[in-house]
Amino acid sequence: MKVCIYGAGAIGGWIGVKLAQAGCEVSVVARGATLQALRQDGLVLRHGDTRTSVPVKAAEDPAALGVQDLVVVAVKAPALAAVAERIAPLIGADTMVMTAMNGVPWWFLSGGFGGAHAGKRLAAVDPQGAIAAAIPDRHVIGCVVHASCSLDGPGQVRLHFGNGLIIGEPSGEATPRVQALHALLQKAGFDARLSAQIQKDVWYKLWGNMTVNPISALTGCTTDLILNDDLVRGFISTVMLEARDIGERIGIPIAESPEDRHAVTRKLGAFKTSMLQDVEAGRAVELDALVSSVRELGQLTGVPTPFTDALLGLARLQARQRGLY
């Protein structure tokens, strides 16, 4: 299988190494120092004391790589519009595009999902519809990542913990192509699960990320310190209850309480969220995919979101002040 990784950061690099080890012909769209590193050393993955290196074909221009069987889009949400402008040469009639990204994706209300709101475009994540036009729904395979990775340097990935990928068609169907992809991911060594409703898995991960991420960016605190503060944890829980109400109205109820979800986060220990890492590195933050999209879904479904609004306003103001939004 020909696989292209678009976004050779930590998650994209991790996926690329394992698929290459499983026998896939892996290529990468990259530029600058990452392009040079990939051409010289290939993709490198470190986990504990184990170092794995795989050769990949790397190019700055997607046209140099040609049509793929699978494109893994693993960029930060703010970079997705630029990817959409350049991805066309990689996509043929039968190409699958697997989105390994955080937050609410542009295809969230596709595949007949969302009840009365099915098919609507979320302006928070695809303002002009350019992403949906460049990557039509028929190509999309949703993906939720449960792993923590970082970069030691360009093309140098370190896996900290986790090995999970949940995938599914936006329609929820167990199509032959998604079953084949699921089998490939399992062969590659991922803890891969095929979801009957990938939007539910997206929403459940978001349910924790949409609060802890921006609050960590605002405060500079690790997750343990955030959840150990009673007042902050109470605020987070209230935002989560707003999101839970929204989920119920679009067909993805969550039976757990916010405290149940906090317990899951606590088990991960003290760590810096991806948004805090982005702020510290001076990178654009994923506020729209993680928070603005939830606010928009609240407006669509008639759920008031005053606490979500407050969180978005504060995080947005800080990010704008730093030139990150």
CA distance 42 to 180: 27
Q: Tell me if residue 2 is catalytic.
A: no
- CA dihedral 22→2→113→123, nearest 10 degrees, is 120
Catalytic residue among 120, 187, 205, 272: 205
CA distance 74 to 280: 20
Q: Which residues face 150 on adjacent strands?
A: 158
Please list, in sequence order, all residues whose beta carbon lies within 8 angstroms of the beta carbon of residue 136, skipping any fewer than 6 positions away: none
Strand duo 57-59 + 50-54: pairing: unpaired
- The answer to whether the CB of 222 falls within 8 A of the CB of 271 is yes
Put residue 119 in one of left, alpha, beta given phi > 0 → left and psi -120 to 50 → alpha: left
Please list, in sequence order, all residues whose beta carbon lies within 8 angstroms of the beta carbon of residue 101, skipping any fewer than 6 positions away: 73, 74, 75, 76, 77, 80, 143, 289
CA distance 223 to 137: 35
CA distance 115 to 145: 26
Write out the catalytic residue numbers.
Answer: 205
